[in-house]
Structure 1
Amino acid sequence: MYEDSWYSFVPDISHKKSTSIGQTAGHRRRESLLQQPNGATPNEAVLPLGSLDEEPDTSNDPPEPTLSRRAKSYSDFYHVVRAQLSKDAKKKRRRKRNDRSIEALGVEKPEDDMPGPSEPSGELLEAQLLEASQQEYLLYQDQLDMTERHLDILVNETNGALKLLETLASSFRAVETQTSSFQAQCDDLLSEEKRLQKLADEVGTDLHYYAYLDGVTRRLNAPGASRLVDHENFAEILTNTDACIKFMAQHSTYRDAESYLARYQSSLTKALHLVEAGFTNHLERISSEISKQIASTQSEAARHALAYGRFEELVLEADGLIANIQRVISCCYDPLGHPVPGQNFDYYSNTVVNIFASYTNIRDRDLKPVTQRDLDTFAKETKDASAETASRNYIKQCYERSYDEATLFTKIFAIEPQYSADANSAFVALKTHQKSLVNAANVAPIATTLQSALQSVELQTICNLLGWVTNEYLLLDYDDEVSGYAQHCQGLTVRLLMEHLWPFADTAFENEITKSISRHAIAPETLRIGPVVNGVASSNAHPIAKKALELLGMYDQAMPKERSQQSSPVIFRIVHETILALQRAETRMKSTKSANPDPDPDLFMIKNLLIVKNELVSLEIGDVRSQAAAMQHFGQIWDTLSPQNWMGLFRGILGGSLSLGLWSSSPAAANAPATNGKPAAGSNDQIQDASEKLDELLRQSIYAFTQRWGGLINAARSGKKGARTLAAVEKELDDRLVAAFGGQPEVMGKLKEAIQINAQAQKEVGGGAKGGR
């Protein structure tokens, strides 16, 4: 019902209460000083006593306030008051008994304890008692009244302050309304001030681009201007001149902008010329010292130390000049040598090209004794050992020297040119100044030296060298971390092969094809099919077919799979020239058939064309086997020829002719007219794919062979007069097939099956013709 904080207003009366209660409860009357020593009893008469040292009688005073138990509710408060009134009545009765005891003893009361002349009435006592019991709460009421008065004062003062603030706000609004136009004018003035300040700054900046010309012109034309490039602050001239040129180009409408642009460009050209001349002079001074020492020593290690270690140390001593050189290069090329577009790219790139030219010329001149010694060593090894061994050692030596040159170049110019076909790249800039020294952009010296030595060697030696280079430097083991040297050699090898050695090898193959296949003389003894040796299918092939197999295997060995499989002109020419040569042999066999009936031209073509086709399928072109393989791909080849369609094809033919254009994958061949069971001669010439042309000739030969032997079998079965017996025909067929395809039962079985199909088709066609008649 009441807050605890209210008790803080109650005065501290506990001490007084405890004292009064203690004296009342523990009071004992003192022993009388008048008592006789013989111990008289209290009933004996006594004399009147003087005033005792007793507490004054306070029966008429209001009771002392006590801290009652806090009431929980109004009804509880009523019980508390009744209990307090009961306690006060008990105290009053106790005081009256004490007074009677004193009267009984005849003790006179003190004057202060004497009652008044009249006793108060009961109603008055009840009012006093009620006032005494409510003393504490009356105090609380006074305090609350005082607090209420203070709060009323605060409320009144707050209301006054709010009214004052409202008055002030109204005044401010009135002032703001009256000064809005003035404020707008002030804002306009501030905006105009900012605009003028910005304009002044721009004008000052623009004037700076104009004012810089006189200072830079005097510095570049001074007598000691050549010494400016030896200090790093020369880069500031290049940077500021670039900025001025860019500004004049962007603000061509400014006054005298074109004139200032031309003068700034002239200043940039002058500054770049100073850089170029300073670097060239620096290299010449170093070269005059290094070249003499290299020429005078015979030790390979000493030459290497002078050419790279000492040269690098002397060049980098001019750190200010080298920093300016690198600054010029970075204005037109990135760290990988790719061009960086810019307003002054042409000026910088021309200077960089001249710097690269001066550097390569001086390096080539200084290392001339080293490169000449490498060439002498290569020529000696070629003569004493072999061209292949000498070429391998020479390539290794050139790759090592090229890597050293690339490392030195990167340290000096802070750029590592990568291969690029862009005419503005640093790689092309280096490549245009090729000398005898091998570097990252110059592999021509290696190719020139190798080609001069490989001109007179066998084709197999060239293929061995190309295969070694590919396996040694291109087919890296990616499980290990690839070093910088390996990456450098990889780039050199790719360019060496693509730009020089592969075209050189193609030319060598072309010459070998012309000599061994195109111009090969056909001897009469080769126009027959001998027995198979050791089960090797190609052992009884014609020498032209054997040479074709050899060239295909060598080309696959020398070239990567991607190059030998994707429309290689060399592969096409090998197959094409082989087909033409076999056709010439077939024609010659047919011309001599009357004198020597033993050779079978159709079987001869089937045998040799199947060997070439099997090699193409086996290589993919690619998979070269170490030993001579049998015709393991004959089933795939036979399925390509589609023999399952032969029966229906034969049944649809009346007469003895067959248009093989239906079998050809070439539309031109399909539309060509047939002559004597074979397509027109011009149809094959229109087929550009050598593999398709090979398949077409195989179809022709297989059809001619099976048609002829099918007719012989039908004649033997008919029992006509003069015809051979079926057993004799089958025995001759077996002998021919065994001679051509001994140890290859799959080929013989497929051909016999095709002969039977052809014979059945001819029989049905003949029966239908008779029935029609």
Structure 2
Amino acid sequence: MYEDSWYAFVPDHVNKRSIAAPQPSGHRRRESLLQQPNGTKQFEAEPLPELFEDVETNNDPPEPTLTRRAKSYSDFYHVVRAQLSRDATAARKKRRRHKDRIAEALVLAKPEDSVDRREPYRFRTTGDELLEASQHEYLLYGQQLEVTERHLGSLIGAANGALDLLTSLGDSFRAVELQTTTFQAQCDDLVAEEKRLQVLADEVGTDLHYYAYLDGVTRRLNAPGASRLVDHENFGEILTNLDACINFMAVHPTYRDAESYLARYQALLTKALHLVEIGLTNHLNRVSAEIGKQITSTTSDAARHALAYGRYQDMILEADGLIANVQRVIGYCYDSAGHAKNTRNFDSCSDTATNLFAVYLDIRDRDVRPITQKDVDVFKKESADMNAETASRNFIKQCYERCFNESALFEKLFAIDPQYSTDSKSAYVAVKAQQKQLVTSVNIAPIAATLQPVLQGSELQTVCNLLGWVTNEYLIFESDDEETRFAINCHKLTARLLFEHLWPLTDVSFEAEVTKSITKAVIAPESLKIVPSNNDASSSNAHPIAKRSLELLAMYDQAMPKERSQKSSPVVYKIVTETISALQRAEAKLKTNKAAIPEPDPDLFMIKNLLILKNGLLALEIGDVRSQPAAMQHFGEIWETLSPQNWMGMVRGILGGSLSLGLWSSGAQANGGTTGKVSQAKSVSAVEQDASERLDELLRQSIYSFTQRWGTLLTSAASSKTGGSNLAAIEKDLDEKLKAAFGGQPEVLGKLKEAIHINAQAQKEAKDQKK
């Protein structure tokens, strides 16, 4: 490690160490260069810088410091963030110190600065070694980079060679592809042909399956125990396969023996359906034999209900395989709502379904006959002992509950809920054709048949009250919470019960009452007099026929919904027309017996009663019934409809003979000397339009006759010599008649007086023109 040449740089001194005694031969450690030379004149080295270290001279304990308490959990985020900041700062400082050390190591001091001029060679060589040692790591890294560069160059050369090889191979493949195009096309044709043959073979195998299935299913259905097959769900596969085979033979009529196989498969399907029908019949008879006896022997209503619905349902559904096959047959021809499906075997399946419905309804009607008969007996007894309306309400409620339970049982058995439909192929029509005494959601005729004798013998008001209660109770939902399944079922039953039975029954009752109290009513002479009316009731002094007409209109409006109580209703039409005819008979009797009965005025009598009838129709507002009869509140509207806009011009036209009574129609625009036409536009039905026009026409005639006659009397009295006294007497007589007819109704009095004075003024002007 130590060379002798190093000592050549150390100068000789005067006082050298004396030559030591000769050392024994062998290894001897050389003298260290750091040893100072001996002599009087020693080497003067620079003193080391003083190390500034704090010397602890005090042995006292350290000063106490206040330890900071840990922050709360709410300040944990700030504590962590501060700690992370301090760690990052410390890491940056450490990296900076490391970089500074590296920079200091890399800095090469100049030889003249770091090496003593007296020992140039020694410190220059040491600096080179230190430089080489400090750069050793970087020199190794440079050598590694050179090796990597040579390796990457060899890889690039290999990659270029591979790319050239691949390019040559691609050119070779393209050349081969061009040469084998024809061969490839031939191979594609062969593959396509192979696929076609495979598909054809599959189709042939599938088609043969429809032929091969015949023998097996024939043996199964003709076996001695074939009737027991319907008790298992596997029988449904036979029905499905037969249906598929029939469809296949029908779709491919050109196949060999397709017609023969089609006929045989249809015969087998008919036999299978017949087995299902027999199986269900036997099962229902077994259940009925047990349940029917228990229902008959039980007197408790709750026990009967539990047997008829709870126990009956459990026993029927025990044969789950048979029920599944029955539902499969029903599903071939109907959906869940009972609408017909467009299937090829619909006729045969629908016939079987109809037979299944008939069998079930017959047996079910026989089982629950004691319950239904008891309800009918209780209803008849209550209607005789109590109020018929209350008894009818209770009976309808019981029937609705039974309909809901029967519908649920029917749906459990056949998996359909027949909805109302007019389609002849629907399940609703098929079930309705099996009319029994059993009340179901389809067959509600027994309800009407039981109610009809009682309602026909009751008063008309009782029938109207019952219809109003049924409508408000079941047809109108007050809130969404009431729209339960039972409420929806009752809503449907009520709509059909009213539309099919109760409304026609009510119409017949009203027509009978109209015939009895209006058409064939006897007109007594004392009923023709007009007595003073009460101020609070405009119809108090009306004719009894007009009063009865208003009562019938109000009752009919109460019993019927707004859509049906329109004026176009046949009942409303009959009430109006028969009332008009009766009033005309009364007017004719007044004119005939005018000498015997001086009062009332025939025209005023018609105006009074026809206006009351017209006002009653408007007061109802086609379905809106007033609680109290209003005092001619619609007379203004009636008068505007009946009166022309220009009374003076119209009266002049009448006097001139150029205006007919038809100009008094609704909406006519009358001017002096012109002729109007009746509007042909009709917004309501023809029946109602005729009745309304007839009523308006009679009002026009009566008003015209009354105003013209009294206008003539006023004109004659004014033109006579004793005009003052006669005119006063005539006006007094007119006021008495008008007050007797329309007392307390100043609007009517004013309109009629105005019309009379206008007529009188027109006659006066006409006479002046003639003069």
Answer yes or no: same fold by TM over 0.5.
yes
| Inter-partner Cα distance in structure 2 for 1:565 and 1:448 | 28
User: Which amino acid in the other structure matches residue 469 of structure 1?
Assistant: V
Name the CA shift for 1:149/1:744 in 2 (closer, same or farther; >3 Å).
closer
| Inter-partner Cα distance in structure 2 for 1:460 and 1:139 | 121
| Inter-partner Cα distance in structure 1 for 2:199 and 2:600 | 104
Deviation at 1:200, TM superposition (A): 0.7
User: Which amino acid in the other structure matches residue 94 of structure 1?
Assistant: E
* Residues 713, 759 of structure 1: 8 Å contact kept: yes
For residues 134-178 of structure 1, the C-alpha deviation after alignment (integer angstroms, 9 at most, x for no partner) is x99999999888777666655554444343333333332333233
- Using the aligned pairs only, state the percent identity: 65
* Residues 643, 754 of structure 1: 8 Å contact kept: no
Query: The residue matched to 1:420 in structure 2 has which SS?
Result: coil
1:375 corresponds to: 376
Q: How does 1:171-210 map to 2 (within 5 A)?
A: 171-210=172-211
Deviation at 1:653, TM superposition (A): 3.6
Deviation at 1:628, TM superposition (A): 3.2
Residues 1:319 and 2:320 are matched in the alignment: yes
Deviation at 1:655, TM superposition (A): 4.2
Deviation at 1:304, TM superposition (A): 1.6
Residues 1:463 and 2:464 are matched in the alignment: yes
Residues 1:503 and 2:481 are matched in the alignment: no
For residues 340-394 of structure 1, the C-alpha deviation after alignment (integer angstroms, 9 at most, x for no partner) is 2211111111111100100111111122222222222222222222322322222
Further displaced range: 153-162 or 306-315: 153-162
Question: In the alignment, which of 53, 66, 75 is matched to residue 31 of structure 2?
Answer: 53
1:225 corresponds to: 226
Residues 1:253 and 2:231 are matched in the alignment: no
* Residues 467, 557 of structure 1: 8 Å contact kept: yes
* Residues 590, 601 of structure 1: 8 Å contact kept: yes
* Residues 387, 453 of structure 1: 8 Å contact kept: yes
* Residues 576, 690 of structure 1: 8 Å contact kept: yes
* Residues 653, 765 of structure 1: 8 Å contact kept: no
Name the CA shift for 1:473/1:95 in 2 (closer, same or farther; >3 Å).
closer
Deviation at 1:472, TM superposition (A): 2.1
| Inter-partner Cα distance in structure 1 for 2:625 and 2:421 | 35
| Inter-partner Cα distance in structure 1 for 2:179 and 2:534 | 124
| Inter-partner Cα distance in structure 1 for 2:369 and 2:147 | 118
- Structure number with greater Rg is 1
User: Unaligned 5+ residue runs, structure 2?
Assistant: 23-29, 35-100, 669-674, 676-685
1:428 corresponds to: 429
**TM-score, reference length from structure 1:** 0.80
* Residues 572, 689 of structure 1: 8 Å contact kept: no
| Inter-partner Cα distance in structure 2 for 1:150 and 1:633 | 114
For residues 682-712 of structure 1, the C-alpha deviation after alignment (integer angstroms, 9 at most, x for no partner) is xxx9995212211111111111111111122
1:442 corresponds to: 443
Name the CA shift for 1:93/1:442 in 2 (closer, same or farther; >3 Å).
same
Residues 1:564 and 2:542 are matched in the alignment: no
Q: How does 1:2-17 map to 2 (within 5 A)?
A: none
For residues 170-209 of structure 1, the C-alpha deviation after alignment (integer angstroms, 9 at most, x for no partner) is 3323332333222222221111111111111111111111
Name the CA shift for 1:177/1:613 in 2 (closer, same or farther; >3 Å).
same
Name the CA shift for 1:50/1:693 in 2 (closer, same or farther; >3 Å).
farther
| Inter-partner Cα distance in structure 2 for 1:470 and 1:333 | 32
Q: How does 1:263-662 map to 2 (within 5 A)?
A: 263-533=264-534, 535-565=536-566, 567-655=568-656, 658-662=659-663
Q: How does 1:50-89 map to 2 (within 5 A)?
A: 53=31, 84=110, 86=112
Further displaced range: 508-517 or 385-394: 385-394
Further displaced range: 614-623 or 248-257: 248-257
* Residues 536, 628 of structure 1: 8 Å contact kept: yes
Name the CA shift for 1:95/1:738 in 2 (closer, same or farther; >3 Å).
closer
> Number of aligned pairs?
675
| Inter-partner Cα distance in structure 2 for 1:637 and 1:50 | 165
1:760 corresponds to: 761
User: Which amino acid in the other structure matches residue 531 of structure 2?
Assistant: G
Residues 1:216 and 2:224 are matched in the alignment: no
Residues 1:741 and 2:742 are matched in the alignment: yes
Deviation at 1:277, TM superposition (A): 0.7
For residues 97-156 of structure 1, the C-alpha deviation after alignment (integer angstroms, 9 at most, x for no partner) is 99xxxxxxxxxxxxxxxxxxxxxxxxxx9xx99xx99x9999999988877766665555
| Inter-partner Cα distance in structure 2 for 1:141 and 1:459 | 121
| Inter-partner Cα distance in structure 1 for 2:221 and 2:175 | 69
Deviation at 1:322, TM superposition (A): 0.8
Name the CA shift for 1:292/1:85 in 2 (closer, same or farther; >3 Å).
same
Name the CA shift for 1:428/1:55 in 2 (closer, same or farther; >3 Å).
same
1:111 corresponds to: none
| Inter-partner Cα distance in structure 1 for 2:210 and 2:644 | 87
* Residues 572, 690 of structure 1: 8 Å contact kept: yes
User: Which amino acid in the other structure matches residue 515 of structure 2?
Assistant: T
Name the CA shift for 1:198/1:710 in 2 (closer, same or farther; >3 Å).
same
Deviation at 1:458, TM superposition (A): 2.1
| Inter-partner Cα distance in structure 1 for 2:289 and 2:149 | 111
Further displaced range: 737-746 or 650-659: 650-659
Further displaced range: 312-321 or 720-729: 720-729
1:37 corresponds to: none
| Inter-partner Cα distance in structure 2 for 1:377 and 1:148 | 114
For residues 575-608 of structure 1, the C-alpha deviation after alignment (integer angstroms, 9 at most, x for no partner) is 0111111111111211222343322011000000
Query: The residue matched to 1:477 in structure 2 has which SS?
Result: coil
Deviation at 1:91, TM superposition (A): 5.6
Deviation at 1:261, TM superposition (A): 1.4
| Inter-partner Cα distance in structure 1 for 2:314 and 2:148 | 97
Query: The residue matched to 2:313 in structure 1 has which SS?
Result: helix
Name the CA shift for 1:156/1:561 in 2 (closer, same or farther; >3 Å).
closer
Deviation at 1:627, TM superposition (A): 3.0
User: Unaligned 5+ residue runs, structure 1?
Assistant: 1-15, 33-41, 57-68, 72-76, 99-124, 668-673, 675-684
* Residues 399, 439 of structure 2: 8 Å contact kept: yes
| Inter-partner Cα distance in structure 2 for 1:418 and 1:319 | 25
Deviation at 1:664, TM superposition (A): 2.0
Deviation at 1:47, TM superposition (A): 5.5
| Inter-partner Cα distance in structure 2 for 1:413 and 1:407 | 10
| Inter-partner Cα distance in structure 2 for 1:354 and 1:151 | 93
Superposed CA RMSD in Å reads 3.6
* Residues 715, 723 of structure 1: 8 Å contact kept: no
Name the CA shift for 1:409/1:142 in 2 (closer, same or farther; >3 Å).
closer
Query: The residue matched to 1:331 in structure 2 has which SS?
Result: helix
* Residues 641, 666 of structure 2: 8 Å contact kept: no
| Inter-partner Cα distance in structure 1 for 2:321 and 2:143 | 97
| Inter-partner Cα distance in structure 2 for 1:302 and 1:687 | 55
Name the CA shift for 1:434/1:174 in 2 (closer, same or farther; >3 Å).
same
Name the CA shift for 1:514/1:186 in 2 (closer, same or farther; >3 Å).
same
* Residues 666, 687 of structure 1: 8 Å contact kept: no
1:94 corresponds to: 119
| Inter-partner Cα distance in structure 2 for 1:431 and 1:419 | 10
Name the CA shift for 1:717/1:86 in 2 (closer, same or farther; >3 Å).
same
Name the CA shift for 1:46/1:325 in 2 (closer, same or farther; >3 Å).
closer
For residues 706-728 of structure 1, the C-alpha deviation after alignment (integer angstroms, 9 at most, x for no partner) is 11111222222223458852221
Further displaced range: 196-205 or 242-251: 242-251
For residues 211-249 of structure 1, the C-alpha deviation after alignment (integer angstroms, 9 at most, x for no partner) is 111111111111101000000111111111111111111
* Residues 653, 659 of structure 2: 8 Å contact kept: no
User: Which amino acid in the other structure matches residue 444 of structure 2?
Assistant: V
Residues 1:167 and 2:192 are matched in the alignment: no
Deviation at 1:275, TM superposition (A): 0.5
